[in-house]
Structure 1
Amino acid sequence: MVEGPRRLVVTGGPGSGKTSLAALLAVRLAIPHIELDGLYHGPNWTPTDPEAFRASVSALTAGPAWIVDGNYRSKLGDLVLARTDLVIALDLPRPVVLVRLLRRTLVRMARRTELWNGNREEWRNLVSTDESRNLLLWAHRHFGRYRARAIAVERASAVGGPAAVRLTSPAQVDRFVEHLMRLAGR
């Protein structure tokens, strides 16, 4: 049996499906899922101390198999990328991302879903003009930055960087999941 990658990173903008894809792959590949948002955001959305965050991520990614989702390279540097077998860069179309993000946000707000450490999304944030509070506004304004990062990861892979795949549609994501399952013999 050919075994596929066992240390994966899923990146992409808000609403691209990072956590959903990572959680699905973690179950199907029977490997731990590490959600960087959950490690970074303390109670009342307080950021974790940078050294503590880095130490926590370092310890969790020291093992032979895991899947990380998140975009904390500015905080972690190459810590995770240096250990990964494969980067999955989600680069879905803006309308898909924004519709998913709006739906997810509304459901979380209506259900008062706890995200991490007691944090919840708040209705007032949805109408805020402050992009640091309004995730939809952030995702819209920074969409190009996330796309550029996905392209850069894909290009770096071609010249000796970590192996990477850039997925640009939900159908492509589904096909790639099936490909990984075949590699893993599942």
Structure 2
Amino acid sequence: MPNSHMQRIIVIGTTGSGKTTLARQLGQVLGLPHAEQDAWNHRPGWQEAPLAEFRAQVNAFTAQPGWVMDGNYTKAQDISWPRADTVVWLDYSAPVVFTRLLRRTLRRMWTREELWNGNRERWQTLLASDGILRWFFRTHWKNRTRNRQKLDRHPHLDVVRLRSPAETERWLQRLEAGQMGSIKGDLWPAQSGG
């Protein structure tokens, strides 16, 4: 295992930043199970899972000795964040994330890719008030502030803050190569910047 200090990892970032892709890659590199909170939250027909059920999933998964989980859900952070040892924050600029999100959403619609539990992106909801694109505009800047606040409340966590897809790719390559001294990236809060 490239780094024994990264055993319980949460990957956060705004909608469309690539949380699931990176979390899956981390799980493979570190030999840890991966879970996506969206899969627990979105029942068939885009019905939201009951709170108790969602929290039970998070509780069971994070009770393991090692794991990688992605998602920004606040409704079980009191369970997962205290158990984590590392947060990887994909803190990309709005233009980068929106471009990636739009490309991903259109591809999913075109290919009819199943996301979770039979759910698929639909053309009818692309620009709807509760659609993914409007969700991005409502949450991207708020999440950056909220993430800083949450990280300040959890000083036990090692935080890797990655500011571009290229930086993320370089960091992952160093991790795969077992370069333990360089995997921390931009640590919070010493180099938190803007």
* Pair 1:71-2:72 in alignment: yes
Equivalent of residue 173 in structure 2, options 152, 175, 178: 178
TM-score by length of 1: 0.88
- Report deviation, 1:28: 1.5
CA RMSD after TM alignment: 1.9
Contact 1:9 1:67 in 2 (8 A): yes
Q: What is the rounded CA distance, in whole Å, between the counterparts of 1:155 and 1:166 in structure 2?
A: 13
Structure-2 residue corresponding to 1:84: 84
Question: Which segment drifts farther, 51-60 or 148-157?
Answer: 148-157
Q: What amino acid maps onto 1:102 in structure 2?
A: L
The number of residues matched between the two structures is 179
Structure-2 residue corresponding to 1:144: 141
**Which segments of 5 or more consecutive residues in structure 1 lack a partner in the other structure?**
none
Question: Equivalent residues in 2 for 1:8-157 (5 A)?
Answer: 8-73=9-74, 75-128=75-128, 130=129, 132=130, 134-156=131-153
Q: SS of 2:113's equivalent?
A: coil
- Report deviation, 1:179: 3.5
- Report deviation, 1:106: 0.5
- Report deviation, 1:15: 0.7
Q: Percent identity?
A: 42
TM-score by length of 2: 0.85
Cα distance, 1:178–1:4 mapped onto 2, change above 3 Å: farther
Q: What is the rounded CA distance, in whole Å, between the counterparts of 2:179 and 2:79 in structure 1?
A: 26
Q: What is the rounded CA distance, in whole Å, between the counterparts of 2:126 and 2:25 in structure 1?
A: 28
- More RCO (CA 8 Å, sep 6+): 1
Q: What amino acid maps onto 2:133 in structure 1?
A: L
Q: What amino acid maps onto 2:170 in structure 1?
A: R
Contact 1:10 1:22 in 2 (8 A): yes
